[in-house]
Amino acid sequence: MKIKKLFVLILCVLCIVLFCACNKTGQYLIFGTFVDIELSGSDASKKLVEIEKRLIKIENLMSATKDGSDVYKINAALKDTPVSVSRETMQVLICAKEVYTASGGAFDPTVYPLSRLWKFSADTYVGIPTTLPCDEEILDALSLVGMDKLLLDEENLTVTKKLDGLKIDLGGLAKGYAAGEALSIADGMQGIINVGGNIVAAGQDISVGIQNPRGDGYIGKFTLNSKMSVSTSGDYERRYVYDGINYHHIISPFTGYPTGVKDDANLISVTVVSDNYTLCDAVTTAVMVLGKEKGIELIEKLNLKGVLIDSDLTVTVVGDIDFVEKK
């Protein structure tokens, strides 16, 4: 998709020092992005091993490119053919469907063919392409979009496509889910979990800086409370400039183009804070697609918190976040 998802960069500024001499750090390359975990406690090393195994398992279930994964099997299946999936994958798909419905289709993991067409998927991104997709190619890929064409049978754990060629990428959803699973394993410990920009505060409050979308450093910071997660989507990561136009990885399921190219969505960065780790990243993508006014409505509708940045670098805070803009 969102592809959110996308390595989204959030600069973490620690306000507290982990005093325990047993600090341990784990760094992995999973989901096509970097995972950084720092834990403090006597069992930190053991917990990091458990977390790595869990994240690898989730990747093997939900990667769009790993042969044999649940998502790979869904994408390869013909229409009207039920595909058995794990309970974990079903859980993430149900969350995706909830955000899809709440956002009026602004978040849609079936934009995967469009992400590949624009060369923003993890397996196609090469920087600046030699050519852009033509209108006919975009319309063809757009005809495959629509999560309403994906039937989820939660009881029997099956997924059935109603359209040949429909493909999904759970992208950031899987990373958010993985961050939550890592937190469960690290229960009772202090630290920071960062799965490809999906950041969770473990056992402590931390100060998080939101990157300046049009400059160096961060544009402001806020406190992320313990057991809360934060995710940011923006038009400044996984992008290229072609003929003076900024094309980025967040594709509108309505136009088939990156947001801001063929619509009036003028947001360049969206940060969402939630205790629903899977939901977080999906909502940032939806808000980028919806634009400022409708995006605020969605954040409030889902009882979340957020920080929105316009193209003129105007910052809008939604909910009770102690955001302090850098002077």
pLDDT in tens, the chain (327 residues): 443 333 333 334 333 333 344 688 989 888 878 899 999 988 899 999 999 999 999 999 999 999 999 999 999 999 999 999 999 999 999 999 999 999 999 999 999 999 999 999 988 998 889 999 999 999 999 999 999 999 999 999 999 999 999 999 998 799 999 999 999 999 989 999 999 999 999 999 999 999 999 999 999 999 999 999 999 999 998 999 999 999 999 999 999 999 999 999 999 999 999 999 999 989 999 999 999 999 999 999 999 999 999 999 999 999 999 999 997
Torsion sign over Cα 274, 66, 120, 128: positive
pLDDT for 13 equals 38
pLDDT for 42 equals 83
pLDDT for 12 equals 41
According to DSSP H, which parts of the chain are helical?
44-62, 70-76, 87-102, 112-117, 135-142, 171-185, 277-290, 292-301
pLDDT for 22 equals 61
Packing angle, helices 44-62 and 87-102, rounded to 10: 70
pLDDT for 161 equals 98
d(CA 101, CA 76): 25
Domain range 11-325, CATH class? alpha beta
pLDDT for 123 equals 87
pLDDT for 122 equals 84
b (16+ CB within 10 A) / e for 21-52 = eeebebebebbbbebebbbbbeebeebbeebb
d(CA 90, CA 154): 7
pLDDT for 14 equals 37
Residue with tokens 């977390």: 51
Packing angle, helices 87-102 and 171-185, rounded to 10: 120
pLDDT for 32 equals 79
pLDDT for 28 equals 84
d(CA 192, CA 134): 43
pLDDT for 305 equals 97
pLDDT for 8 equals 37
